[in-house]
Chain A
C-alpha cells in the first residue's frame, strides 16, 4: 500500500474511533455495572492491528484516546488516565495475541482478551486512586459483561475486514477462513 493511502486509512480509522467513542456514551451501561461500557472503539483498534501491525495500530489507539479526551474536555484528568491505561494494556495484549496466536484465536477471541484486559486495567488504576480494595467487587461483573461485548466487537471487526475492498486489505482477508 502506498504511503499516502496508508496515512489516509489510518486517519479514517482514528476518526471512526472517535465517533464510536461518542456513540458508546449513549448506552448507559454504567447503570448496570459501574464502569461498564461497550468498547466499540475497540473495533477500530482490531482492524488497525490486522491491517497494519504494531506501529500504525499504536498510533490509532494513542490518537483516539488523546483526541477523545480533548474533545470531551477530560484531557490530563483522572478519567483520561483511566481510559489511557485501559486502552494501552488492551491494545498491547490484543497485539501480542494477534501476533503470536493468530492461528489459534479468531478476531472474536482476540477482542475478548482486549475487553477483559481493558476492564482489569481500569479497575486496577482506579484502585490506586481511591485506595479501597472493595472496588474489586465489581471486577467479576465487568469481566462477565466483557464477554458479550467483546464477542460483538470481534464479530463486527471480522465482517468489516471481510467486506473491505481489495485495495485496502491487499487481499489478506477477503478469502480468510478460520479454522
Chain B
C-alpha cells in the first residue's frame, strides 16, 4: 500500500496550509529583532508571574560568570550568565520536565527560557531596541 492511497487531497491541503502558516509565524521575530547593531548591549530580564524581578547587564559576565538563584513555589532555580550567554544551570528537583534546563544556552534576542511550574521566564533584550519582550 502506497502512502498516496491513504493520504487524501484535503490532507495535503491541510499539511501545506500548516507549513505556510508556521513559516509566516517564524518570520515575525526576524521582523522585530533583525540583526544586532553595532554597540548594542544585551540585558537579561527575569520575570516571575507578571512581575519583573531582576535585570542583569550581560556585558558584566565577560570577566567572570554571574550566578544567582531565583526562588519559586516549587524550588530554587540557579541561573548562570557566562560570556554573554544565559542558561538555567539547575532546575529544582520537583520540576518533572525540567524544560528550562533543557533549553540550554541563549545568546540572542528572541528565544526565551521558561519554567511554567514556577511561572518564571527569562530573556535577553537589547538596550537600544524600542520594543520589549512584552510587546509582541
Q: Does chain B have a CB within 8 A of A28?
A: yes
Cβ–Cβ < 8 Å partners of A101 in chain B: 10
Q: Residue on B with the closest CB to A111? A: B11
Q: Does chain A have a CB within 8 A of B14?
A: yes
Chain A, residues 14-55, CB within 8 Å of chain B (1/0): the string is: 000000000000001011001100000000000000000000
Q: How many A-B residue pairs have CB under 8 A?
A: 119
Q: Residue on A with the closest CB to B112? A: A134
Q: Does chain B have a CB within 8 A of A3?
A: no
What's the Cα separation between A179 and B111 when bound, in Å? 42
Cβ–Cβ < 8 Å partners of A73 in chain B: 96
Do the beta carbons of B7 and A30 come within 8 Å of each other? no
Chain B, residues 82-114, CB within 8 Å of chain A (1/0): the string is: 000000000000001101101110000011111
Do the beta carbons of B112 and A132 come within 8 Å of each other? yes
Cβ of B31 to closest chain A Cβ, rounded Å: 13
Q: Does chain A have a CB within 8 A of B120?
A: yes
Q: A109 touches which one: B8, B23, B133, B136 (CB < 8 A)?
A: B8
Q: Does chain B have a CB within 8 A of A56?
A: no
Cβ of A107 to closest chain B Cβ, rounded Å: 8
Cβ–Cβ < 8 Å partners of A138 in chain B: 111
Q: A131 touches which one: B11, B49, B102, B112 (CB < 8 A)?
A: B49
What's the Cα separation between A34 and B110 when bound, in Å? 14
Cβ–Cβ < 8 Å partners of B50 in chain A: 131
Q: Does chain B have a CB within 8 A of A105?
A: yes
Sample of 9 A–B contacts (CB below 8 Å)? A105-B10, A106-B6, A108-B11, A109-B8, A109-B15, A113-B14, A137-B110, A140-B23, A144-B22
A-B pairs, 9 with minimum CB distance: A140-B25, A109-B11, A134-B112, A131-B50, A140-B22, A104-B10, A132-B121, A143-B22, A140-B26
B interface residues with partner A (beta carbon < 8 Å):
5-8, 10-11, 14-15, 18-19, 21-23, 25-26, 29, 47, 49-50, 96-97, 99-100, 102-104, 110-114, 116-117, 119-121, 123, 133-136
